[in-house]
Amino acid sequence: MLITCPYCGPRNVSEYTYQGDGNRTRPDPASTDQAAWNEYVYDRLNPAGDHHEIWQHSGGCRAHLRVTRNTLTHVVTEVSFARDAGHRKSERHRKPGAHA
């Protein structure tokens, strides 16, 4: 399986660490809503098909990435920096010489 890191280019999955379901939102830190915390800490989506996931390029630039991956075919359709949260273009961060 290949994941194309927006900074480093296409790399083998062995360079990455799976960091879990990317659909979760952390409750407000001061929140005491136990149901919301329980959902954040323990509940994971497990779709058969496209899934939003967090992967860390732990064997590379160490950035966390938001990855859309099909859990049936392992086809990765979208990758962006988790830090950007969709606001900035990932193109600006690309390492010189890294190919998409």
User: Where on the chain is the footprint of other proteins (CB under 8 A)?
Assistant: 1-2, 12-13, 17, 19, 26-27, 29-32, 34, 37, 40-42, 54, 56, 58, 62-64, 73-74, 81-85
Our CB check for other proteins shows the closer of 58 and 94 to be 58
Our CB check for other proteins shows the closer of 64 and 94 to be 64
Q: Closest distance between other proteins and the C-beta of residue 5, in Å?
A: 13
Q: Closest distance between other proteins and the C-beta of residue 39, in Å?
A: 12
Q: Closest distance between other proteins and the C-beta of residue 77, in Å?
A: 13
Q: What is the DSSP string of 47-97?
A: -SSEEEEEEE-TTTT--EEEEEEETTT--EEEEEETTTTTSS-GGGGPPTT
Tell me how far the alpha carbon of residue 45 is from its chain's centroid.
14
Q: Closest distance between other proteins and the C-beta of residue 8, in Å?
A: 15
61, 78, 80, 14 alpha-carbon torsion, rounded to 10°: -20
Tallying the residues shown for the chain, one arrives at 100
